[in-house]
Chain A
Amino acid sequence: MRPFMAKILEKGPLGRDMVRFVLHAPEAFLQPVLPGMFVHIKVPNDASHILRRPISIMDADAKAGSITLGIQPKGDGTQRICTLEPGDEMEIIAPLGNSFALNGAKTVWALGGGVGVAPMLFACHEFSKMAQVTAVLGFRTAEQVYAEGDFAPFADLMICTDDGCRGFNGTVVDAVREKLELPELIIACGPTPMLKAVQAFALERDIPCQLSLEQRMGCGYGACLTCSCKTKRSDGSETFARVCADGPIFDAKAVVL
């Protein structure tokens, strides 16, 4: 594995606040590219931004050698990345991190919030081959909703908005509390308050649950120990794990949020 240049094939909006890129990245498929993994992108044409930016893989097509990303141009680095156009190249390291695991579950809830909706698409795409997937996607408001059409072939879909402009009026966890039939597995990615609520819900009902965490990252491959999160050992004592290399997916029972 080494960093490589990935040519941008497509670029377009994802709702109001995000940008969708499709990259030609066959080198990434030298190892399996799995749902939950991420790419680490160098900020282009700028030596002053030292660190790469970790971005979840939104979808991947091994046959075409392409990877789809959903990027929110929030800070200066991601804004610079989002100025790239089709035909330009991104310098990336991929794929990094661990992945969601179905573990034989037949029914899955894929819960996404905001930027965290993006990796849920890849998970739904893969898991729908072996399980029945319900995607519950949360946004602040209707204009931010994205990728509905992409999810449709792979999952039963429920949209939630905080302001009630679209779909369920409330949070993703509020929405799932109203569902009668519990799944065999919950996977989730989103802001920490959402993950905390999902974790509490899953632990309360003893449903296997995997959470995708976000943390400020240095290297992205495990060396610098900066993207730590608190985890519980089997004896109950607490320690730190690396979000980049031990995660970003953690068992809800093992992670302290």
Chain B
Amino acid sequence: MNKVDLSVSLCGVTLKNPIIAASGTYGFGRDFTRFYDISRLGGISAKGVTPKERAGNPPVRIVETPSGILNAVGLQNPGIDAFLETELPWMLEQGTTVICNISGNTIEEFCDMARKLNNSSVAFIEVNVSCPNVHAGGKVFGSDPESILAVTQAVRRCTDKPIVVKLSPNVSDIAEMAVAAQEGGADAVSLINTITGMAIDVNTRRPVLGNITGGMSGPAVRPVALRMCYQAAQAVSIPVVGMGGIMTGEDVVMFLLAGCTAVQVGTANLADPMACVRIIDQLEDYMNRKGIKRVEELVGALITE
């Protein structure tokens, strides 16, 4: 098999391949070390952190839906200080690019975390303006271009690190949101976060999730995610990191062709602990079969005429 070049440049940072484990589906990576060498990943977007520790939502927190899942974890995390002290040093030793995903209820909370991270060795800050499972802040920020602009501008002033703004699909015009992030000084956008959904138990007549609603992900959302990534990539000049139901190497190719520079793999990690490395292998296999030497050749190479 010929050796292909899987590396991609994202905002000046070289990822060894375009596969990033998505925030909230990979913890801080520790749970996967018993399955494989996680240095093989292009990167890890760490479990989203908040200014203080959060316990998250009451159970039930997950339910399977047709070709997808709904989750309502509610940002359970140890808080930014514990992340910096305990989790980040370990992550930095693992030989992959570390992205810290942050989520705040106010612009000041986002800024406080960005300042703390500025002195750390994280490669990127992913600004989560789109978690559907918190009632304040994120939901508001992510569904309004002016709020996205404001929070991005504020975070921009607090850090020299590359900023990736993670967008919500729960909007009418995704391109408008991506442009707002770019105008605010984002170095990249990532999308999509989960689509707000709901499940009802007809036997008990109650919502299945403790939080009543949750975020839907998995292959069922892939066509929506792909369309939104395509539209965002058309609208902005900064890189787009795509995600939404990626289960195979060929799914990755779709997102790259749609204009994404890299991708994040989320729900697949829950179905198959080997998903990320299997997907990397499948991407490499696709490139060999198609005679593609560099994965960056695929970025935005969609043929539409």
The B interface, classified by DSSP as helix, strand, loop or mixed, is loop
List of A residues within 8 angstroms of B69 by Cβ: 50-51, 218
Asked if B25 and A2 sit within 8 Å, CB to CB, the answer is no
> Counting CB contacts under 8 A, is B259 at the interface?
no
Contact B71 A226 (CB under 8 A): yes
What residues make up the interface of B, taking CB atoms closer than 8 Å to A? 24-27, 30-32, 34-36, 47, 55-56, 58-64, 66-69, 71, 73, 76, 218-219, 247, 267, 269-274
- Please, how many angstroms separate the alpha-carbon atoms of A230 and B76 in the complex? 13
> Is A93 close to B, CB under 8 A?
yes
CB distance from A95 to the nearest CB of B (A): 12
Q: How far is the CB of A47 from chain B (nearest CB, A)?
A: 7
Does the CB pair B271–A52 fall under 8 Å? yes
Check if A224 is an interface residue, CB within 8 A of chain B: yes
With contact pairs A50-B267, A216-B62, A224-B71 given, residues A245 and B76 touching in the complex (Cβ less than 8 Å): no
A49 nearest CB across to chain B (Å): 6
Alpha-carbon distance A50/B68, docked complex (angstroms)? 6
Tell me the A residues contacting B by CB distance below 8 Å. Answer: 1-3, 42, 47-52, 77, 93, 215-219, 221-230, 238-240, 245
Q: When the two chains form their complex, are residues B35 and A2 in contact, meaning their CB atoms are under 8 A apart?
A: yes
Question: Which residue of chain A lies nearest to B65 when distances are taken between CB atoms in the complex?
Answer: A50
- Whether the pair A225, B267 counts as a contact (CB closer than 8 A) is no
Measured CA separation A51–B62 after assembly (Å): 10
- CB-based contact A225/B73 at 8 Å: yes
Given contacts A1-B35, A218-B270, whether A223 and B27 have CB atoms under 8 Å apart is yes
A225-B56, A228-B76, A240-B56 known; A219 vs B61 contact (CB < 8 Å): no
CB distance from A67 to the nearest CB of B (A): 19
Inter-chain contact B25/A223, CB cutoff 8 Å: yes
Question: Of B59, B219, B269, B274, which contacts A216 at CB under 8 A?
Answer: B59
- Bound-state CA distance A42–B271 (Å) is 8
Task: Look across to chain A and name the residue whose beta carbon is closest to the beta carbon of B60.
Answer: A216
Contact between chains at A224 and B76 (CB < 8 Å): no
Contact A217 B62 (CB under 8 A): yes
Supposing A2-B35, A224-B62, A228-B56 touch, asked if A50 and B71 sit within 8 A by C-beta, the answer is no
Q: A245's closest neighbor in chain B, by CB?
A: B31
Residues on A with C-beta less than 8 A from B34 are 1, 221
Q: State whether A223 and B61 are in contact (beta carbons under 8 Å apart), knowing that A51-B271, A240-B56 are contacts in the complex.
A: no
Contact between A226 and B66 (Cβ–Cβ < 8 Å)? no
Note all chain B residues with C-beta closer than 8 A to A48: 66-67
Contact of B269 with A223 in the complex, beta carbons under 8 Å:
yes
What residues on A are CB-neighbors of B272 within 8 Å? 3, 42
Which residues on A sit within 8 Å (CB–CB) of B66?
Answer: 48
Residues of B within 8 Å of A93, CB to CB, are 273
- B269 and A219 form a contact (CB under 8 A): yes
Q: Give the shortest distance, in Å, between B57 (CB) and chain A (any CB).
A: 8
Smallest beta-carbon distance A149→chain B, Å = 34
CA distance A51 to B125 in the complex (A): 30
Bound Cα distance A50, B24 (Å): 17
A224 B60 Cβ-Cβ under 8 A = no
Contact A49 B64 (CB under 8 A): yes
Q: Chain A: which residue is nearest B208 at the CB level?
A: A216
* Residue of chain B at shortest CB distance from A217: B62
Q: List 9 A-B contacts (CB under 8 A).
A: A2-B35, A48-B66, A50-B270, A77-B64, A223-B26, A223-B269, A225-B47, A227-B59, A238-B55
Verify A227–B31 contact, CB threshold 8 A: no
Chain A residues with Cβ under 8 A from B36's Cβ?
A: 2
Known contacts A50-B68, A51-B69; A226 and B273 CB within 8 A of each other: no
Contact of B67 among A3, A50, A215, A230 (CB under 8 A): A50
- A1-B34, A2-B274 known; A229 vs B27 contact (CB < 8 Å): no
Nearest A residue to B68 via CB reads A50
- When the two chains form their complex, are residues B64 and A222 in contact, meaning their CB atoms are under 8 A apart? no
